[in-house]
Amino acid sequence: MKKACNKSIKRAAAITIACLFSIGIFTTEANAQVVSSTEIGIMGGGSYYLGDMNDKHFDYMMPSGGIVVRKNIDRRITIKAEALLGYIRGDDNRNTNDTVKLNRNLHFRSPIYELSGQVEFNFLPYETGNSLYPFTPFIFAGVSLFRFNPQAEASNGEWVALQPLGTEGQGTTAFQDRKKYALTQFSIPMGGGFKIAVNKTFNIILEYGIRKTFTDYLDDISSTYTGGNLIDMSPLAVEMSDKSLNGPQAKDFQRGDTKNNDWYTFTGITLSFKLLSEKERCNY
């Protein structure tokens, strides 16, 4: 299911990016007389992830929010910058229909800090304050820099960061080919939504965006078990590596799926305000 979902998302991403590259050629003529404008807004909503602990959209939803700045080039094209904060989580105990995941018995939570730049394409001509162009659906794509930090609860009740522990043997002599993953990485945001101009200065924007990452470790799960105590693996790392209900798993027994990287999402509502020029403020 996850593999099919990833394929469909990749196809959609390819179509989205192709549209964004092509629309600039065909929209200039109809929008040449439009004066550009800048907006600043606040986004609030939810975030979740897709990976080894979750393959269902909108499951494990957590709160998210941030600041959005939009530069409207014309009625079709908008350049957008975002600074967002969200949270993601997963828990094998909720996979009651998957006995393998249920036995694995792992869980995690992580913040997601993201800075991104995107290009939006409006399917209909849209202009804040212009009653002729009051709404439009839109799509977007871009590039993001994000930071995450997966944590899990130890037996003493303390939540500990997993990356420094090397729960899959990263940094040990027994697994010299496994390096600790970076907590700051790039992703590709893509998605769409709907814009509504409420008045001359105020917009309401509904948006759903998914991020393609280049890591399989948002949940600290990717490859295989270490097989128990290693000389250079701490007791806490051993504990957090293998919580299997059926007892410790053998070395190289599958712990995660290395074939598919993880995804994360931001979805919500943005309240966006147009910054008026001096002339517009006087007229308004």
pLDDT in tens, 170-229: 999 999 999 999 999 999 999 999 999 999 999 999 999 999 999 999 999 999 999 987
| Contact in structure between 96 and 130 (CB atoms under 8 Å) | no
- The radius of gyration of the chain from alpha carbons, rounded to an integer in Å, stands at 22
* Residue 237 is assigned to a structural domain of this protein: no
- Residue range 82-99: average pLDDT? 94
**Residue 6 pLDDT > 90:** no
**Residue 32 pLDDT > 50:** no
Quote the domain boundaries for residue 182. Answer: 2-26+34-150+177-210+266-283
User: Cα separation of 92 and 108, whole Å?
Assistant: 9
Which residues does 203 contact at the CB level (< 8 Å), separation at least 6?
Answer: 39, 41, 128, 195, 196, 197, 270, 271, 272, 273, 274
**Residue 30 pLDDT > 60:** no
* Residue 231 is assigned to a structural domain of this protein: no
| Contact in structure between 109 and 86 (CB atoms under 8 Å) | no
* Residue 190 is assigned to a structural domain of this protein: yes
CATH of the domain at 274: 2.40.160.20
- Residue 278 is predicted with a pLDDT of 62
User: Cα separation of 205 and 137, whole Å?
Assistant: 10
* Residue 232 is assigned to a structural domain of this protein: no
pLDDT in tens, 45-70: 999 999 999 999 999 999 999 999 99
* Residue 165 is assigned to a structural domain of this protein: no
More confident residue, 168 or 24: 168
CA atoms within 13 A on the CB side of 55: 14
* Residue 21 is assigned to a structural domain of this protein: yes
- Residue 95 is predicted with a pLDDT of 86
Cα-Cα-Cα-Cα dihedral sign, residues 26, 31, 32, 37: negative
**Residue 23 pLDDT > 50:** no
* Residue 73 is assigned to a structural domain of this protein: yes
Percent of the chain with pLDDT over 90: 81
**Residue 24 pLDDT > 80:** no
Residue with tokens 């794509």: 141
Cα-Cα-Cα-Cα dihedral sign, residues 113, 119, 124, 127: positive
Amino acid at 241: S
State the total domains in the chain.
Answer: 1
| Contact in structure between 264 and 64 (CB atoms under 8 Å) | no
pTM for the full predicted model: 0.87
